[in-house]
Amino acid sequence: MSIQTNQAVEYNLAPNGDFVIGNYQQKKTFSSFLSGIAGPHGIPLWVFYVNRGQGIASFGLGDKDHAMMEFEPANKAYQNVPTKGFRTLIKTLKTPQPALYEPFRRVQAGVDTKMIISLSTLTIEEVASSLGLKTRIQYFILPEEPFGALVRKVSIRNLNKTPQTLEVLDGMPIVIPSGLSNQALKETSQTVSAWARVYGLAEKTAFYRTAASIADSTEVETAETGNFFFSFRSSEEGNELLMPLVEPELIFAEDTSLDQPLGFLRQELSTFAGFQITANRFPCAMGAVQKELAPDEELTICSVFGFLPQIHLLPAVRDRVLAPGYLEKRQAKAAALHDYYADHCLTVCNDPRFTYYTRQTYLDNFLRGGFSLNLGGTGKKTPYYVFSRKHGDLERDYNYFKLAPTFYSHGNGNFRDVLQNRRCDNFFNAHLKVTNIKTFACLLQPDGFNPLIIKGTKYLLTDQAAKELALRQVAAADRARLEELLSKPFSPGAIANLITAEGIKLSTPLPDFLGLLIEKAHTWTEADFGEGYWIDHWTYLLDLIQTYLALYPEELTQLLSTDQTYTFYDSGVKILPRSKKYVLTGDGPRQTAALSVDPAKTEMIEARADFPHAVRAGKGHGEIYRTNLLGILFT
């Protein structure tokens, strides 16, 4: 058998800017991710993919502890994706013996594949000329919805000049129920499988969660949140909901390696209506359909995989998605959102490659540093960063990333990654002014160090008149519910989620209401020591200041000395003096224990109700100490 080698150069840029990789499974391995952009009023998912199998290697909500497809490092993902990732099993109903074909599973002669990467969508295609079949699969994150979901569209076209009858089984061979942590999956997978449950099959949906909390404790908590799945056959005549197949033994029978679908080969599953085991084992998420395809006819199966806080919400989500044209509109919306944000750095050049390069680079940058939205009405605009995320890709498996499952979502990030990717933001958003300078300068400590982890921004309405002004925009019957949340530190995403989930009525658009809140509120940046102090942060801060002064040179005095609202960051972690951190070893002097955690200082900081990490006078018990930027830089 002759198979094309890695030496073939099959990387190209399509006229529309898509990046195309021919025969991608034969190329050097790489890993990447979908952007996680679901829009300001959407719930993002984290979705990683590799150039093996059907692409998607893992996905979930929030962090690694809320996976629907288990997070695995890159080296394991390359090995496992063809078997444990998405699968498409096609049974050609020939006589006397049906034949099984599984696109994208194995590299083989006479089969051409390609991967198409766009800003919002991952597409893979395979053409099996000998079988007369073309398979195309698209993935995108559902935008602008109050639930997070990954959409998968599978299209199979008959390239023959004669009809073909196919039975197609498509989906995930293993699903992680909500409630199982990454550590539990890695260390006690056999044990925690006993908690796995599937509900909702009577509604032709599947809701995956644990029976209860899995913690080894005296109190057992109920489990409500769940991962969900449903699939349907899409056609011009309408959408036909498919019965979820959730018992792996139905499909693979005794082949526990999940290699060969022996059960599918032995029986038709497109009409299966029998009993399924829905407890005490890891389930699957697959749907089956049988169809005779005329020449050039196409079969399309759409699947939605996502997360919901309660099962009673699932029927409404299912019906919404099943509406004619819904997914097509959502896919177009996802593309439009990505184009909108990337076009903030639109560069028109004689060579279109440079144009697409700048858009992609800008997207990459704000996925690290965040995209600055301007919230508020026709008056003052207040910047707020969304979409940022830590580089928790499969090759950086040591990073514990977070992508907040809220409206106006953002994630955690390292100080250096966020700061270095915001250095040019003043060129793109005139409303930012000194926002970023103040954010990062106020993270410097009196000893010159700074925390590593940037968690996000918190707001607090301390002025009663400002709080009453905001609540006047809320319907009288709803004010009590919102007032409680506004009495504590809050984030715009949490406020937006509450307003949407509980149907709170506003007299002003939601973005304008949020803009009013954060304009009137005091603010601080949530941060954490993380893995340690780094030496290059100072360089990026100076870059930020120089960029600002390049645009606003007349603001030099105001920036450096007049503004007396800067604060120092207070931390319970300190650097020891040289006399304590250097030791003599057999190989000479070494620095082995440079850090010290002060328990009393840490406890004092944690006890503060607001602005917990702002340095106080009076040995930490007095008023917040405020100074100007020069005071911060030269301390």
- What pLDDT is recorded for position 422? 95
Q: Are residues 329 and 461 in the same domain?
A: no
Last residue within a domain, chosen from 275, 305, 339? 339
Q: Is 325 left (phi over 0), alpha (psi -120 to 50) or beta?
A: left
Residue 595 falls inside a structural domain: no
- Claim to verify: residue 116 and residue 237 sit in the same structural domain: yes
407 and 335 housed in the same domain: no
- Give the SS3 label for residue 538: helix
**Strand order from edge to edge, sheet including 285-293:** 99-101, 87-92, 164-172, 285-293
- Residue-wise pLDDT for 11-60, tens only, equals 999 999 999 999 999 999 999 999 999 999 999 999 999 999 999 999 99
My answer on whether 382 and 323 are in the same domain is no
Query: In this structure, are residues 23 and 16 in contact, taking their beta carbons and an 8 Å threshold?
Result: no
Phi-psi region of 200 (alpha: psi -120 to 50; beta: other; left: phi over 0): left
Instruction: Classify residue 44: in a domain, yes or no.
Output: yes
Q: Which of 501, 43, 68 is nearest to 310 (CA)?
A: 501
Query: What percentage of the chain exceeds 70 in pLDDT?
Result: 98
The verdict on residue 583 lying in a domain is no
Is residue 574 in a domain? no
Task: State the CATH number of the domain containing residue 278.
Answer: 2.70.98.40
Domain count for the chain, please give it. 2
Per-residue pLDDT at 6 exceeds 60 = no
User: What global pTM score does this model have?
Assistant: 0.93
Query: Quick one: 375 and 479 in the same domain?
Result: yes
Predicted pLDDT of residue 96 = 65
* pLDDT tens, residue by residue, 49-108: 999 999 999 999 999 999 999 999 999 999 999 999 999 999 998 766 778 999 999 888
Q: Which of the two residues, 390 and 430, has the higher pLDDT score?
A: 430
CB 431 within 8 A of CB 519: no
- State pLDDT tens for residues 488-514: 889 999 999 999 988 899 998 999 999
Q: What residues make up the domain containing 444? A: 356-563+630-634
Residue 250 in contact with residue 263, Cβ under 8 Å?
yes
Shared-domain flag, residues 546 and 513: yes
Considering the domain architecture, whether residues 448 and 523 belong to the same structural domain is answered as yes
The predicted structure's pLDDT at residue 183? 95
Identify whether the C-beta of residue 54 lies closer than 8 Å to the C-beta of residue 86: yes
pLDDT confidence of residue 2: 47
Q: Facing residues of 430 across strands?
A: none
pLDDT at 462: 86
Q: Indicate whether 233 belongs to any domain.
A: yes
Residue after which a domain boundary falls, among 283, 310, 339: 339
Give CA–CA dist 167/303, Å, rounded: 17
In percent, how much of the chain has pLDDT > 90? 73
Looking at per-residue confidence, does 597 or 97 come out higher?
Answer: 597
Over residues 445-474, the mean pLDDT reads 88
Which of the four pLDDT bands, split at 50, 70 and 90, describes residue 535? confident
The number of angstroms, rounded, from the C-alpha of 168 to the middle of its chain's C-alpha atoms is 30
- Are 264 and 378 in a shared domain? no
Q: For the segment 137-169, what is each residue's pLDDT rounded down to a tens digit?
A: 999 999 999 999 999 999 999 999 999 999 999
Residues 148 and 291 in one domain: yes
* 7, pLDDT greater than 50: no
Question: Is it the case that residue 196 has pLDDT exceeding 50?
Answer: yes
Q: Does residue 122 sit within a domain?
A: yes
Residue 510 maps to a domain? yes
Residue 566: the pLDDT is 97
- 3 pLDDT above the threshold of 70: no
Choose the most confident range, by mean pLDDT, from 219-223, 277-281, 385-389, 390-394: 277-281
Lowest model confidence (mean pLDDT) among 173-182, 369-378, 428-437, 563-572:
369-378
Residues 242 and 126 in one domain: yes
CA 212 to CA 206: how far, in whole Å? 17
Are 289 and 269 contacting, i.e. CB atoms less than 8 angstroms apart? no
pLDDT of res. 169: 98
> Would you say residue 300 lies in a domain?
yes
Q: Cα Rg for the chain, rounded, in angstroms?
A: 27
Location of structure tokens 């919901």: 308
Domain boundary among 309, 339, 369: 339
CA distance from start to end of the chain:
70
User: What's the one-letter identity of residue 54?
Assistant: Q
Dihedral Cα 375, 376, 378, 379, nearest 10 deg: -110
- Residues 324 and 425 grouped into a single domain: no
Residues 333 and 415 in one domain: no
Determine the 3-state secondary structure of 77 from DSSP: helix
For residue 237, the model assigns a pLDDT of 83
Two structure tokens written together for 12 = 């190209």
- Which of the four pLDDT bands, split at 50, 70 and 90, describes residue 1? very low
